[in-house]
Amino acid sequence: MYSSPELDPQSKPRFYARLARETEALLADEHNQVANAANFAALVWQHVPSINWCGFYFFDGQELVVGPFQGRPACVRIALRQGVCGTAAATLETQLVADVHAVAGHIACDAASRSELVVPLRHDDGSLLGVWDVDAPVPGRFDAEDRQGMEKLAEVFLASLRCSARDGVVGSQRSIHSK
Ligand code: SME
C-alpha cells in the first residue's frame, strides 16, 4: 500500500526534488505505460497544490489521445499543433501558459482552467510519445521552477518505462505464449 509523505510546497526546488524521489519509488517495480501513467497522475494530483487537472495525452501516430488523468473528464483527441497540448507535441518544447484566455486555439476542456504547463514526452529515439499536461484554476500558477520540476518528473516517468533485466523474463514468457 502506498502511504504518502507530507511534502512542503513552500520551497519549489526542494518540493519537486522530493516528489521526484517519491515518483521513482512508486514506479520502480513496474514498466507498463498505462499503469505508471495512472499512478504518476494520481501522485501529482495528490501532492501538487492549486491544480484542477493533470494527465497524459499519448500520440497514436496521428493525433493525441487522452490517457490516464485526474480531474474532470477531458477532450479525447487533440490534433498536432492544436491548442497548448498540440503545440507542445508539434514543437517538442514545454509550453508554459500564464493565461489560457490569451492563447488563440486554447482548448477549454474545463472552463475553470486559467493557466497551463505542458511537457512533451519522447521515446528514447527522440520520437513523440505524448505530452504531460497540468492545468490550474488561477492565472500565472506555474513559473520556471514548476517547469523544471515537472520536466524532471516527466523524465522519471519516461525512465520507468525503459526495459530492464526484469523485462527479459517477461519477454521470454511472451515468446513461450506466442508458440
Ligand atoms: N487545454 C488543453 C487541452 C487539454 S485539457 O486542458 C485537459 C490544450 O489547450 O491543449
Residue 84 has a pLDDT of 97
Residue 74 lies in a domain: yes
The pLDDT value recorded for residue 165 is 46
Does residue 161 lie in a domain region? yes
For a ligand 1 pocket test, name from 78, 94, 110, 141 the mutation site with the most ligand atoms within 8 angstroms of its C-beta.
78
110 falls within a domain: yes
pLDDT of residue 158: 98
Residues in the chain with pLDDT values less than 50: 165, 167-179
Q: How far is the CA of 171 from the centre of ligand 1 (A)?
A: 36
* Per-residue burial over 95-119, b = 16 or more CB atoms within 10 Å of its CB, e = otherwise: bbbeebeeeeebbebeeebbbbbbb
* 7 part of a folded domain: no
DSSP for 8-73, please give it: --SSHHHHHHHHHHHHHHHHTT---HHHHHHHHHHHHHHHSSS-SEEEEEEE-SSEEEEEEEEES-
pLDDT at site 109: 86
For the chain, the domain total comes to 1
Q: What is the pLDDT of residue 133?
A: 98
Enclosing domain of residue 71: 12-166
Q: Answer whether 0.85 is exceeded by the pTM.
A: yes
Residue 100 C-alpha to ligand 1 middle, in angstroms?
9
Q: Which atom of ligand 1 is nearest to the CA of 110?
A: 6
Residue 30's pLDDT is what?
96
Q: What is the pLDDT of residue 164?
A: 55
**Residue 179 located in a structural domain:** no
CATH number of the domain residue 53 falls in = 3.30.450.40
Identify whether 58 is part of a domain: yes
Each as own residue / partner, the long-range contacts of residues 164-167 (CB below 8 Å, 24 or more positions apart, any chain) are 164/31, 166/31, 167/31
119: its cell numbers: 511537457
- For ligand 1, atom 6, which residue shows the shortest CA distance? 109
